[in-house]
A and B are shown apart, each in its own frame.
Chain A
Amino acid sequence: MGKNIQTTTKRPFLFLAFLLITAGFTYWSFNTFGYYWTVLVPNVLLLYITTVLLVVYVESSHKYDKPPQIDEFAPVTVIIPSYNCKDLIGQTIDSVKASDYPSDIEILVVDDGSTDGTRDMLKGIKGIRLVLKESNEGKAEALNAAIKIAAHDYVFCVDSDSYISKNALRDMMAKMLPDQTVGAVTCFVKVSNNKSLLGKVQEIEYFVGFGFSAITNYMLDAVFVTPGPMTLFRRSALLEVGLFDVTNITEDLEMAWRLRKAGYKITYAYEAVVYTIVPETFRALLRQRTRWYRGKLNNISKHRDMFLNPKYGYFGMFIMPFSLASELAAMGTIYFIAYMVAYTIYWNVQLVLAYIRSDSLTLANLITGLFGSSAGIFMFLIVVIPWIYAIWVSHKLGKKQLSITDIPAMVFFLFIYSVFLSGAYVYSLFKEIYGSDYLW
């Protein structure tokens, strides 16, 4: 929601030192153990992490507790922070109004200083409570302002570019009401703009993240994020922990960790669905993921007392450390790819020069040189197979039938998108170490 949150102190020497150490270690490892054995280690680690989640899914998913029948539902407030979203927020509000929730719904829209006519549009919508902030101060500030004035004890925070399923409010409240220790309820986030290849690929990613991973985290009592598109909160829990951190670029992640620290449970209702818009260009996607990953690194640092702390169960002992480990493993893969790309460029330049010097530059020679032999990748295939199962399970949970037309997106997701995400991890890590400004 449109503003630099904070500038930071730049650390160029730390950045250079980190780059030299990690690149040097990678180079040493390649030369000592060879390329394939070096890359094998992070791949085995990734395989192990995926296998843990698969074991949890196979053993525990049948014990998942569906939203129970509730006799009486409490009234709720649905908070929608808005900023320059006049083309989308109407759909969000309509989806809330169309909900089958059997009690009162207060729709509280907080406009955070829009300049594109959103405010005027909102003034014309009936059935909402509108708060107009004078200036743009960010999503967290807008949410906090709304939470303070919300009329009811249970608040849904819904993004203005998202719309909810008809049953979402009811099923999520059914998970909240019976258990007073629940501080938040999460749901299945799906992609609404899934027409392009990048949209379809992210749709698969969200199915896996909010389907398979979310349910396994839930069965471990280790749900680690209260996603921005939609989460239900117990208002008293939010007030107790101090509302959203306005300086944090991933306030939804940070809130989840703070709630856990305060002893609240975070549950999950995959029956409840919110559809959200995802980036449609790689540039926008990189920007989003940089924010997410930097936010995670930042939050790990802020809440490092939870790291490997048995007090926080699977969350502290598995989800946090393995999440960090998988990102470091991805970094190893990126160094390998960067090394191979750099070496291939060097090789091809030398090859072309050799052909030119000997007057032997022909198309046939060039093609044979550029597409040389490829290495065996059985380890990679073994890692991919569990992921194919995870994708299938996720689509089953999300009630979407996989078809032959999904294959290109799946192939792209498994073999190319994963490399892009690994690159985004590395990029984010370096930005965090350098101390780049935090941007929304």
Chain B
Amino acid sequence: MNTDIFLKAALITGVLVLISIVVGNYIENAAYSKLNSDLLKISEDNEAVLIMQSFAGDNDTQVCGMIESQTDSMNGKIYNLRSELEAQKSTSILTNYDLIRREYFLANARLLSLTKLYARQCGGKDNVLLFFYTSEKECPECFAQGRIIDDVRARCGNLKVFSFPEDVDMSVIKSFMAYYKVSSSPSVVVDNSKFDVVLENVTGADDILRMLDCRNVSAVSNGSISANGTNESVIINATVPKP
């Protein structure tokens, strides 16, 4: 029996598998590079704002316009980058996304800090929404809440959304969770001039919008904030109105 055919076939199979790995790797690397490049730009923009703020000083309101436009623009980009990043992470089989994800969340945290700085220094009236979700295991509720927040963002002109996974071991995320007293996911934190609340479980768009001070809000149904119940959103730490 001629065993050459088995050896040749093994060689060809090996080559084909290698080709598929190389091609897969190339495509994943290309996607990774693009994400990395986008993230780098956002980080540079973050740094630019911090540099200008340090340059101008705490009481100098001349930089307020620049901070406002930069944070508006960066928030949109960083928010969209999250979906791309999580999608790439879930479909990638050859590339490790841990480092880039950590850099992303750090950039996100810096931007949140800049947004709060703008509010203090320049009297900004933006609504801030923090969204805590589970990323290391499947969470259909988190997916649903994410979609709802997309809807809220589309309907509220001056809303800034910052998303953080509650199950990634980063001290800045843990600090935010401790600060806002977040203990589960999905959770949404509304932080604006009127409210400082944590909404646990899945919260509907209208319920969130009623707590926001939006510049151009689309139709919101009348009615009070939904009452507590085992299957409905839970409001804790509510202060109505803020002093």
Shortest C-beta distance, A84 to chain B (Å), equals 46
B59 at the interface (CB under 8 A from A): no
Report if A347-B138 is in contact (Cβ < 8 Å); known contacts: A48-B9, A378-B20, A378-B23: yes
CB distance from A145 to the nearest CB of B (A): 39
Give the distance to chain B from A104, nearest Cβ to Cβ, in Å: 41
| A355 contacts partner chain B, Cβ-Cβ < 8 Å | yes
Interface status of A59 (Cβ within 8 A of chain B)? yes
Does A376 sit within 8 A of B, measured CB to CB? yes
Given contact pairs A358-B202, A376-B27, A51 touches B13 in the complex (Cβ within 8 A):
yes
B231 located at the interface, meaning its Cβ lies under 8 Å from any Cβ of chain A in the complex: yes
A314 touches B1 (CB 8 A): yes
CA distance A343 to B203 in the complex (A): 24
Which chain A residue lies CB-closest to B13?
A48
Contact A357 B232 (CB under 8 A): yes
Contact A355 B144, beta carbon cutoff 8 Å? yes
Which residue of chain B is the closest to A383 with respect to CB atoms? Answer: B16
Asked if B134 lies at the interface with its beta carbon under 8 angstroms from chain A, I say no
Question: Once the chains are docked, how many angstroms separate the CA of A350 from the CA of B13?
Answer: 41
Nearest-CB residue, chain B, relative to A362:
B151
Taking a contact as CB atoms under 8 Å apart, the answer to whether A360 and B202 are in contact is yes
Kindly supply a per-residue 1/0 record for chain A positions 29-65, scoring 1 wherever the CB is within 8 Å of any chain B CB and 0 otherwise: 0000010110000001001100110111001000000
- Contact pattern, B 207-221, Cβ under 8 Å of A = 1, otherwise 0: 100000000000000
Q: State which residues 14-31 of B face A: CB under 8 Å.
A: 16-17, 19-20, 23-24, 27-28
| Chain A residue at minimal CB-CB distance from B17 | A44
Question: A interface, how many residues as a size bin?
Answer: 35 or more
A52 and B9 contact, CB distance less than 8 A: yes
Cβ-defined contact, B231 with A357, below 8 A: yes
Q: Does B145 contact A (CB under 8 A)?
A: yes
Which chain B positions have C-beta within 8 A of A313? 1
Provide the bound-state CA to CA distance between A350 and B138, in Å: 11
* Complex contacts, A369 vs chain B, CB 8 Å: 140, 143-144, 147
Q: A34-B93, A44-B13, A47-B13 are in contact. Are A359 and B206 (CB under 8 A)?
A: yes
B1-15 vs A, Cβ < 8 Å mask (1 yes, 0 no): 100011011101100
B residues near A359, Cβ cutoff 8 Å: 204, 206-207
Given contacts A357-B231, A359-B204, contact A378 B24 (CB under 8 A): yes
8 A Cβ contacts from B137-181 to A:
138, 140-141, 143-145, 147-148, 151
In the complex, which residue of chain A has the Cβ closest to the Cβ of B83?
A373
Chain A residues near B23 (CB, 8 Å)? Answer: 378
Can you name the residue of chain B whose Cβ is closest to the Cβ of A314? Answer: B1
If the complex has contacts A51-B9, A310-B1, A373-B90, are A382 and B147 also in contact, measured as CB distance less than 8 A? no
Do B93 and A376 touch (CB < 8 A)? yes
Q: Could you say which residues of chain B place their CB within 8 Å of the CB of A360?
A: 144, 147-148, 151, 202, 204-205
Chain B residues with CB under 8 A of A347: 138, 140
Q: Which residues of B contact A343 (CB under 8 A)?
A: 138
B127 contacts the other chain (CB 8 A):
no
Q: Secondary structure at chain B's binding surface: helix, strand, loop or mixed?
A: helix
Bound-state Cα–Cα, A374 to B87, Å? 9
Q: Flag whether B115 is at the interface (Cβ < 8 A).
A: no
How far does the Cβ of B220 sit from chain A's closest Cβ, in whole Å? 12
**A38 and B231 alpha carbons, distance in the complex (Å):** 37
| Cβ of A365 under 8 Å from chain B | yes
User: In this assembly, does A128 line the interface, its C-beta being within 8 Å of a C-beta of chain B?
Assistant: no
B233 interface residue (CB < 8 Å to A): yes
Q: Does A241 contact B (CB under 8 A)?
A: no
Range of interface residues on chain B? Answer: 35 or more
Q: Which residues of B have CB within 8 Å of A74?
A: none
Please tell me if the beta carbons of A357 and B16 are within 8 angstroms of each other in the complex.
no
User: Is the C-beta of A239 less than 8 angstroms from some C-beta in chain B?
Assistant: no
Docked Cα-Cα span, A203 to B202, in Å, equals 52
User: Whole-angstrom distance between the alpha carbons of A348 and B201 in the complex?
Assistant: 17
A48-B13, A51-B12, A354-B140 known; A379 vs B204 contact (CB < 8 Å): no
Are A376 and B8 in touch, CB under 8 angstroms? no
Q: Does A317 contact B (CB under 8 A)?
A: yes
Q: How far apart are B133's CB and chain A's nearest CB, in angstroms?
A: 12
Which residues 335-355 in A have Cβ within 8 Å of B in the complex? 343, 347-348, 350-351, 354-355
Evaluate contact between A36 and B93: CB separation under 8 angstroms: yes
A403 at interface, CB cutoff 8 A: no
User: Which residue on A lies nearest to B221, using beta carbons?
Assistant: A359
| B9/A354 in contact, CB under 8 A | no
B90 contacts which chain A residues (CB < 8 A)?
Answer: 373
Closest chain A CB from B9 CB (angstroms): 4
Beta-carbon contacts under 8 Å, A366-401 to B = 368-369, 373-376, 378-379, 381-382
Q: Which residues of B contact A47 (CB under 8 A)?
A: 13, 16-17
CB pair B91–A37 under 8 Å, yes or no, is no
Most chain A CB within a 10 A radius of its CB, from B91, B144, B148, B207: B144
Contact of B5 among A37, A55, A375, A381 (CB under 8 A): A55
Q: Are A358 and B233 in contact, with the CB atoms below 8 A?
A: yes
Distance in angstroms between the alpha carbons of A376 and B87 in the assembled complex:
12
Q: Separation in Å of the A217 CB from the closest CB of chain B?
A: 13
Q: How far is the CA of A37 from the CA of B232 in the complex (A)?
A: 39
- The interface residues of chain B lying within 8 Å CB-to-CB of A55 are 5, 8-9, 12
Question: How far does the alpha carbon of A359 sit from the alpha carbon of B202 in the complex, in Å?
Answer: 9
Contacts of B141 in A (CB 8 A): 350, 354
Residues of B72-112 whose CB lies within 8 A of A: 87, 90-93
Nearest 8 Cβ contacts at the A-B interface: A350-B140, A354-B144, A358-B202, A358-B204, A52-B9, A351-B140, A51-B9, A359-B204
List 5 A-B residue pairs with CB atoms under 8 Å apart, sorted by A's residue number. Answer: A44-B13, A351-B140, A355-B144, A376-B93, A382-B16
Q: A375-B91, A378-B27 are in contact. List 11 more A-B contacts (CB 8 A).
A: A51-B16, A54-B12, A310-B1, A317-B1, A350-B140, A354-B141, A358-B201, A358-B204, A359-B207, A360-B147, A360-B148
